Structure 1
Amino acid sequence: MKVFVTGASGFVGSEVVKELLVNGHQVVGLARSEESVKSIKEAGAEVLMGDLDNLDILQKGAREADGVIHTAFIHDFSDYQTNALKDQKAIEAMGEVLKGTDKSIVVTGGTLGLPLIDGKITEDSKAPAESIRFSEKAFVNLSESGVKASIVRLSPSVYGNSKLGFKGGFGLMLAELAKAKGSAAYIGEGNNVWPAVHRADAAKLFRLALEKGETGARYNAVSNDEPLSMKEFAELIGEKLNIPVKSLSIEEAPEYFTWMTYFVQENCPATNLQTREKLGWNPSEKSFVEELNQYFF
C-alpha cells in the first residue's frame, strides 16, 4: 500500500520507512528541510514538504495515501505540553480526512507514566483524563469516531546505532548527562524501572500495526529483556565511566536532572504480551545494555 509517514527522516521514522519499503509498500515521507528531503529520497521514498504546523499538507498526505504512520514529534521536552498539543492537532487533522474510509492510521505514544494494572503497564493501561498525553487522547477520539486508528506506545529508551549516531532516547540522555556531570544519579531508592526497545523492532511493530492492527488497539513497543532499575542503570554508568554514583532526594533532583526530573522518577514496568499475541511481533534485536557497551562506553 501507499503509506504516508511523518517524521520520515527521524530516528524512529527513518527505520519505519526502511521497514515498509523492504516489505513491499510505497512510502511518501513528510520532510521539513532539504536535509530531510535528501535522507528520505536516498531511502527510496517520495517526499512531501511540510511540518506539523502545516495541517493542510498533513491532510493532503493522508488523503492521497492508503494508510498513515505518524512518528513526527517536536523533541523539545522542556516545552512538552506545547509540542504535545501540536501533535494532537496534527493527528486530528489527518484523522479528519480518514473518516468514512477503511484507511489505517498508526500514531505514536509512550509507555512512561501510564497507570499500572496488577503492578504492570499493559496494553489495557489507559492515560488518565487529566494527562497531557495528547496523542493518546487524539487516537481515542479518532477510534470512537470510526477511524481505523491504533497507537504504538514506545519505551522511554528507544535505541539503535545509525548514521544519525548512536541514540537511546531518555536512557542515553541520562548516560550523557552523567558523563557531563561527572557522577551518575538516581532518585530516592532508584527502584523504578524503564523498559527499552530497539528502533528496528519498533519499526516492525509500526508496520504490523498498520497491516493488521485493530481499531482502538494499544500496542506496547517494549523489548523482552528484563529492564534495569534506575539505580542499576546509574551503577552501570558509574562503573563503565568510572564516576561516582549517588542517590538524590526529590528536592535535590531538579538541580541535576532539570526538565527530566519528572520522567526520571516515573516507574514503567511495561509488558508486551498482548502486542506479541495479537500481531505476532517478536522483538529480537540486541539489548539496550549491549548497544551501550558497543557504541557509548
Structure 2
Amino acid sequence: MADQHALTRLERFLDRFANRHLASVPAGVREFLVFGIKQAWACLFGALMLLAIIATAWWYPDDASLARNDLLVVLAVLIQTAMLVLRLETGRELWVIVLFHIVGTGMEIFKTSVGSWNYAAGGVLHIAAVPLFTGFMYAAVGSYIVRVYRLFDLRFSHYPPRWITAVIAAAIYLNFFTHHYVIDVRLVLVLAVVVAFFRCRMHFHVHRLTLRMPVLLAFVLVAFFIWIAENIGTATGAWLYPSQVEGWQMVPLTKLVAWFLLMMISVVLVTFVYRPKPPDENGSPDNLNLN
C-alpha cells in the first residue's frame, strides 16, 4: 500500500474513491483502471505542457505582440505555480524539477549551439538560442518519475550501488557533449546500463496488487512515450531537427537510444531525493511478475 503521508490531498481522495466505488469491479479491471488513473495523474505536468505547445501552434496568431516562445514560458510558470499553490505537487518534487531545469537547460544551450536542433525564433525569454520553456519539458520528465515513485510506492530488488549508477549517468551526460568532438560511446553506455540493471526489478503497488517488472523494460517504455511526445512537439514547430527543416518527418527511431540514456540520468537524479528502497517483505502476498 502506498504511504498515505507521502500523497497529496487529491491523491488521497483518488485512493479513497477507488476503495469505495471500484470495490465491485472485477479485480483485473479494477487494477487496470487504477493503473491508468495513476499514470494519467503522474503525467499531469507533461500533459499540460504538451497541450500548451499544441494549442499555441493551432490557435495562437503569428503576429501576436507576445511571441509564442514567451507565451509558452508564461504558461509553464503558471502551470508550475498553480500545482504548487493547489498542493498538487510536493516540496520534494520541486527540488527534482529545479534539478532537471539546470541539467536540461545546460544541455540545450550546447546542443543548439552545435546545430543538433533549433527552436523557432522570437521572444525575449531565452538563454542564447534556448527558450526558457524548454527547461520545463525536462522538468516534466522529473515530475513524472517522482510522482510514479510516490503513487506506486516503488521498490527495487537488486538495485545496483548508487555510486555506480551516478558514474554511468555522469558519463552519459558528458557524452552528450563530447561525442561532437571525439568518439561517440553511447552504445557502450547503453551496454553499461544494461549490465548494471539487468537483475534489477521494480515492484509497484497498483491498488490491491503489487506487480514487478524489469527496470530496463520501464526505461524503454518511458523512452518510447517521450519519443511520441517529441514527434508531437516537432510537428507543431516548437523545435526542429535539421532533417525536418525542409518538411516535417517523424523523429528517427534511433533517438530512442538517446531517450533511453536520458532515463538513466533522470532516475539517478530522482534517487538523490528518493533513495531506492527494497521490497517490503511483509507486504501484500498478491504479487504478479511481468518479467
TM-score with structure 1 setting the length: 0.27
Higher relative CO (CA 8 A, sep ≥ 6), structure 1 or 2?
2
Structure having the larger proportion of residues in helix: 2
Greater C-alpha radius of gyration: 2
